[in-house]
Chains A and B, each alone.
Chain A
């Protein structure tokens, strides 16, 4: 008897458990609940203090801006404002607001609410002014009230409930597109006041957010906040039945945090989630073969080979930088190391952005020409430190090691001595590369909205950058030209200015080499319908339905 008991041992216990639990692992499925696997935890739910994609992934479903971006594209379209006009000099913007819109707490959305949001942003004090918190305000508007830094924002007037006027201190190419950024979503002034939205304090090495940001985010969107179960790492939103537009199909939308990409895939395969973001490009074919919907977004990013002129004097010579551009085989890189749909980058931004032109220097693969240029520059025995990051994948850089190996191999073929340097992304890579310490490095950018300024303005608009353009004879000139283009109120003239800058960036300056635009994919189960992907990776789930 005893022997028999032991024989069955563990397997008996296991078998009993298994037979009883052959059932849905998703608890009570309402049929219209979607569980989405998110790669990271949201930092908070007040998008103004956020700059990370995982926070915006959640707040985007609950909050809306004055303007938004077209479904599946990057063009600006009306959201909470139905229409807008600008004064001729580009400093006065009048927004006509949508009527009958209410925040989730019942507060009216009107011009006063718009001004309350703008004034909240502009009047940040103390810790709230930290660039770790107000990143997008500083990037877009510059300074705060009473500060030394000039601000783009001047004032906001609520002339009547449906008309809000935003006065700027100068014209900018960023308007009105920048208002579509998630950070500038409209939030309920009542809720922000009640739960002390601005109460953010530095504590130890991080920031503690307000009760509003943790528990009471209040917008106007198709979903509203339900709960954030940190024990189970899932954020639950439910449908806003009073939404002003087309109501969401889903009753509930749940974001489950699964940081490991392979675990996300296994969860989808086992039916624990209905979709996830950023699948490994190597898995796309097998996922398709198993009938999952693999949707590849339009690429809206750029991967570049950065070159810093700080520590390697040879890189201050244009001929050396051009030699590097000729030495690398970008076609091969795109075909061998990047997912399907990736393209060789012509400029520092994709073709959908204003000012794009094909008419620029191309630098097709030519190792012999690279050698010749290095000889002419007196650096036939060039040695460079080539930096690449570890412990990271980015939408524009799905496999840093593979990309490094491909490019380093090309450079060696052109007679360049490559000294590899690898560092963890958050363990020195980003901070040192931004200081200009990396001689040649891999980095990139995903655009926030359709504006050349958001790409090349961010890269080269200041001479204090990772490419160390400050001492270059053209560093200041390039920054001034970008500034002038940004301030130009006439769109036609502005576009021409950006086109010219792009041409010179490739032929005259070449501070870095644009490599590729990679389309990040998103995957959903076959029963998920209606997900429209966004080049900005800013998917909205209101259109999604579950059809089992």
Chain B
């Protein structure tokens, strides 16, 4: 288990270095760059050249990369030029990451909390109305683009009925302490109940929109997996031994059916992060998805670098955790 973990951590390091080289070269190959954003629309060639020199952007690419890595090791990724101008890129990332995590975690919880029980019950009553309804729902979830669903939800619940906020993380001007950056948690920790509630209702629509795809995947996989497992000999044996229905369902069916579902939940985390780019745009949530999108629009090298690198690391780390969880559930994997 230890060797396995170390090997996976080594992979994480290699992925980071390779990605940083590719990312660095690719960003600098794009036309424009942060100089245009810094100088505005009427900069002369001379002032442009002077700024390029001042920022060291005229040096050979490998020199720039070396300097970047030297600073990056200390956590200094430069300063944002477009997303949050003047703020250190690492700070931008750290400020925005909780928003994305909060949204993704809630979306995943929704997908799991609804997807697994629904998948189980749909399989147990295969062909019934609940089964048919759930399958149709999950098909819609996969087929309808997230941004369209997001817009629809917003239109109905925020604009037409006015019962939920249209965008943002918390009402502007609400007095709230942001200790951890996770707004709901902050509100609970500081007993600022209004702030926690306000943050939670801001999260609802984007989380529902974001959860549709993982819900559909989790639901369908759970259903298929349960259908497979109930046919297994050990389930029949368990039943014939006279074990109670609850024990058979919980220990024999659900537990075994969950193996592929757990892996999928891990893979869905990556999908959630990419889905967050769109959802955060539609709901104006200042998370890393929005930072990525604005970073590209405004050619913000510093923010793009830190966000892409860190997201990749989070992705690899989450997969590592999933693999470890998988090994924990299935004892056979630990000895391999």
Contact: B158 with A234, CB < 8 Å? no
Q: Of A28, A41, A43, A204, which is within 8 A of B89 by CB?
A: A204
Complex CA distance for A257 and B290, rounded to whole angstroms: 12
Q: Does B79 lie within 8 Å of A203, measured CB to CB?
A: yes
Given contacts A28-B175, A132-B51, A256-B172, contact A426 B166 (CB under 8 A): no
Contact A22 B163 (CB under 8 A): yes
A205-B55, A206-B38 known; A21-B164 Cβ under 8 A: yes
**A209 CB-CB contact with B under 8 Å:** yes
> B88 on the interface (CB 8 Å rule)?
yes
Q: Considering only CB atoms and an 8 Å cut-off, how many residues of chain B contact the other chain?
A: 92
Check B159 against A270 for contact (C-beta < 8 Å).
yes
Binding stretch for chain B, among A1-9, A64-72, A161-169, A406-414: A1-9
Q: A44 interface residue, CB < 8 Å from B?
A: yes
Q: A43-B86, A260-B281 are in contact. Are A25 and B44 (CB under 8 A)?
A: no
Q: Bin chain A's interface residue count.
A: 35 or more
Binds A, one of B4-12, B194-202, B255-263, B312-320: B194-202
Residues of A within 8 A of B86 (CB): 43-44, 206-209, 213-214
B194/A435 in contact, CB under 8 A: no
Given A43-B85, A254-B172, A256-B172, A204-B68 contact (CB < 8 Å): yes
Chain A CB count within 10 A is highest, among B84, B98, B172, B290, for: B172
Alpha-carbon separation in the docked complex, A28 to B176 (Å): 11
Contact mask for chain B residues 88-101; partner A; CB cutoff 8 A; 1 contact, 0 none: 11001001001100
Point out the residues of chain B lying under 8 angstroms from A132, CB to CB. Answer: 35, 38-39, 47, 51
Q: With A6-B117, A131-B51, A260-B281 in contact, is A27–B171 under 8 Å at CB?
A: yes
Q: Do A35 and B302 touch (CB < 8 A)?
A: no
A423 and B45 within 8 A (CB): no
Pair A270/B166 contact, Cβ less than 8 Å: yes
Q: Which residues of the other chain, B, contact A127 by a CB distance below 8 angstroms?
A: 54
Please name the residue on chain B nearest to A255 by beta carbon. Answer: B172
The interface stretch among B13-21, B26-34, B224-232, B233-241 is B26-34
Is B60 located at the chain interface by the 8 A CB criterion? no
Q: Which of B41, B92, B98, B301 contacts A205 (CB 8 A)?
A: B301
- Are B43's CB and A434's CB within 8 A? yes
If A28-B175, A263-B166, A427-B32 touch, does A443 touch B198 (CB 8 Å cutoff)? no
Is the C-beta of B204 less than 8 angstroms from some C-beta in chain A? Answer: yes
Q: Does A26 contact B (CB under 8 A)?
A: yes
Kindly state the separation between the CA atoms of A22 and B157 in the bound complex, as whole angstroms. Answer: 11
Contact B167 A267 (CB under 8 A): yes
A–B complex contacts, Cβ < 8 Å, 11 sampled: A25-B164, A27-B170, A202-B54, A230-B95, A232-B183, A233-B286, A272-B166, A272-B168, A426-B82, A434-B45, A465-B44
18 additional contacts (CB under 8 A) given A27-B173, A214-B86, A269-B166: A27-B194, A52-B40, A207-B38, A230-B92, A234-B172, A252-B173, A263-B166, A266-B154, A266-B159, A266-B167, A267-B167, A270-B166, A423-B31, A424-B31, A425-B36, A426-B297, A426-B298, A429-B32
Residues of A within 8 A of B (CB): 2-3, 6-7, 9-10, 14, 17-18, 21-22, 25-28, 33, 35, 41, 43-44, 51-52, 127, 130-132, 135, 138, 202-209, 213-214, 229-234, 236, 252, 254, 256-260, 263, 266-267, 269-273, 391, 423-432, 434-435, 443, 445, 458, 462, 464-465
